Structure 1
Amino acid sequence: MTNINKTILQSLGSGLAGACALTALHETARQFISDAPRADILGMRAIKKVMEVADEEPPADDELHDWALGGDIVSNALYYSLIGLAKPKDALVTGAALGLAAGVGAVGLPGPMGLGTAPSSRTTATAAMTIGWYLLGGLVTAGAYTWLKRK
């Protein structure tokens, strides 16, 4: 395997680890914490919006929820895989920066995108958890990237 292919796989694998950690945290916390962020709802709204523009009927909520979780994992994995642009020694800082940027975006962008603000920033605690959890996803990504680069 060439070095570039190995780096791409390491980057994608690291991004997937961070995305899975983030989604697992979102899905677990929403069942126990009333102010927990609801990335699933944002995803469902985004899918509905795109399908309506395409003049298609969105699936029932249970299936739509599954689509949203899958979309979250894929999109966050691709985003977090940008860690591969960093040198391994800078992985922690890069992962933290990616996570913080994603968290701030998750708080600030849904409103202007027409997806509503409540799922990610209905309370100060919700906004703080949103940013913190995306930061955690970035840190998991950094840890996975550092570990994979040592292999």
Structure 2
Amino acid sequence: MSLINRSIAGLAGSLALTGVHQIFKKYVTGAPNLDQVGEKAVQTSLEKVDVNISDEEQVYAAAMGGNILSNALLFSTLATSTNTSQIISKTLGTGLLGAAGTIGLADQLLGNNKATNTDKKKWMTAGYYLLGAVVSISVYNLLERKSK
């Protein structure tokens, strides 16, 4: 179990989640806008240290970077097994945990939560995270097989 392979796999899963989210947000009516969660987290954090950034593009960039990094860390914890039963349970567990955390964070951070306020948006969020988990474990297993 290589730390480098786990890191690459976690980043691949995070990028898959982010890519699908951005495509769906742009082209699917009623898709979740998870960027709002990250942007609010960035703004809240900056306010606590008396920093004010009014440039929306900078806040968005910081939020995207934070989302990609935090999801990569989440998914890298998944990439630890090549055993089929462990793969299934870890993939489902990690994907659903990530979705639940995002949905819960949206409710906490956004007073009028429009990011995940419908069942459709919650299911789509769960799907994004499950996709990221599947990509992570797939990339991890591919890299582990190649390194042997």
TM (norm. structure 1) is: 0.87
Q: Quick one: structure 1 residues 11 and 59, their matched pair in 2 at CA, closer, same or farther if it must change by over 3 Å?
A: farther
Indicate if the aligned counterparts of 1:46 and 1:115 stay in contact, CA closer than 8 A.
Answer: no
Give the aligned residue type for 2:17. Answer: L
For residues 23-67 of structure 1, the C-alpha deviation after alignment (integer angstroms, 9 at most, x for no partner) is 001111111112111121111110000000110012411221111
Is the 8 Å Cα contact of residues 92 and 139 (structure 1) preserved in structure 2? no
Q: Is 2:106 the partner of 1:110?
A: yes
Q: How does 1:8-87 map to 2 (within 5 A)?
A: 8-84=3-79, 86-87=80-81
CA contact (8 A) 1:15 1:141 kept: yes
1:95 CA displacement:
2.2
Q: 1:52·1:58 contact (CA, 8 Å) conserved in 2?
A: no
| CA-CA distance at 1:91 after TM superposition | 2.8
Unmatched tracts of structure 2, length 5 or more: none
CA distance in 2 between counterparts of 1:92 and 1:58 reads 42
Aligned length in residues: 143
1:45/1:138 Cα in 2 relative to 1: closer, same or farther (>3 Å)?
A: same
Give the partner amino acid of 2:55: A
Identical pairs, percent: 31
Q: Deviations over 1:53-93 (max 9, x none)?
A: 11001241122111111111111001110024x32113343
Alpha-carbon distance between aligned partners in 2 of 1:147 and 1:96, rounded to the nearest angstrom: 19
The list of structure 1 runs, each at least 4 consecutive aligned residues, that deviate by more than 3 angstroms after superposition, is: none
> Residue type matched to 2:81 in 1?
K
Q: Could you tell me which runs of 5 or more consecutive residues in structure 1 were left unpaired when the two chains were aligned.
A: 1-5
CA RMSD of aligned residues (A): 1.5
